[in-house]
Every structure is written in structure tokens, then in C-alpha cells.
Amino acid sequence: MTRTHKAALILCSALLLRALRVACRWDEWALHYAGYYQDSVRQLSQGHVLEALTQWVGLHPPLYGFVHALLNQVLPAPILWLAFSGLCSMVAVLAVLRSGTGNTSLLAALLIATDPVQLHYAAEVNNYPMLVAVCAVAWWAHSQDRWIALGVAGVIGAATHVLGGVVIGLLALRMQHRWRCLLLMAVGVSPLLPGV
């Protein structure tokens, strides 16, 4: 079996497992989690885009709440929120799969595709699937020595979850252009600092 066939099998398995998880999580907990982001939904629906982009939800930075509010403008239904999380989880599998050409990236992608913890969170209405996707994209950028992509992932990661910024920042320290990457991240996250 070629690497392409193995990769396709991993992606198909990941898609099936996440689709089952989305169907399973269409319950009252999806609505419960959505309640956390009602301030962002309200602000965006009233046209307060800047406020929605800087509204922290407890200890969580604003990006997921903003995305949730945007999805709510499109269709205020749990299936859309859950499908977005499933898509983020698929992006994580694909990014890790693309991070290398050997069996190591295949094994890592298979692990993310089938890991019980990843599957548990793959369809949650919260920022964890998005965080995993951004960290996986950062890993891909690091493996390809793309410091700008890593810096952008760092900004998105920090705006999604504080630990995302920390993890991606540590990854940036391993880059050749580490200071440029960290400067890009620092400038990109500076609008979030007043909300801290």
C-alpha cells in the first residue's frame, strides 16, 4: 500500500469517526456550551464587531467566541457549531499528515485521527478543536520552516486559547527566524492585552 493510500485511509477514518461524534454530541450539552458565548453573539448581532473580537470569556481569549457568534449569524443551530468543531479536528489530522513525508507523520496523523481524547473533543462547542487545529498547522509550518505561517498560527492560537500561544511560541524558538516570528506574534496578540 502506498503512502497516498495510507493517508487516504487515515483521512477517511478520521472523517467517519468525527461525523459519528458530531451526531452523538447533538444534545443539550451543545446548547449548554453555547451559553458561554452569548455575550459575543449579542455584541456581534448588535454590530459591535470590535467588542466581539476582544471579548474574553472567563480565561478564554475571544477568537472562538467570535467565530461561534459568526456561525450563529449564519444559522443558530447546534449542528453548524458541531460541524465547525469536527472540521477543525479534521484540519488537525490533515496538517499533521502534511508535516512530513515518512511514516512518522502517517503514524502521528493516525494517532490524532483515532485518539479517544481527540475524538471526545472533536465535536465540542468550545475552543479545543480549534486550538488543536491551529497547533497542528503550527507544527506543519515548523516542519516546512515557514516562519510567517508559524507566526500567524501563533496569533490565531493565542487568540483561541492562551496555551496555544505558549505552545506555538515555544515552537517558534526552534525556528531559524525565531525573533521575527515572535515579533509577529507579539504584534498580532497586542490587541488582546487590554482584555487580560
Per-residue pLDDT band for 44 (boundaries 50, 70, 90) equals very high
Per-residue pLDDT tens for 47-106?
Answer: 999 988 988 887 889 999 999 999 999 998 889 999 999 999 999 999 999 998 888 999
**Chain-wide mean pLDDT for the chain?**
93
pTM of the model: 0.93
- Give, in order, the Cα–Cα distances in Å from 16 to each of 77, 81, 146: 21, 18, 31
Say how far apart CA 121 and CA 86 lie, in whole Å: 9
Give the whole-number percent of the chain exceeding pLDDT 90: 78
Q: Residues 10-19: what's their mean pLDDT?
A: 96
Beta bridge partners, 57, equal: 60
Residue 196: pLDDT above 80?
A: no
Residue 193: pLDDT above 80?
A: yes
Per-residue pLDDT band for 142 (boundaries 50, 70, 90) equals very high
pLDDT for position 15: 96
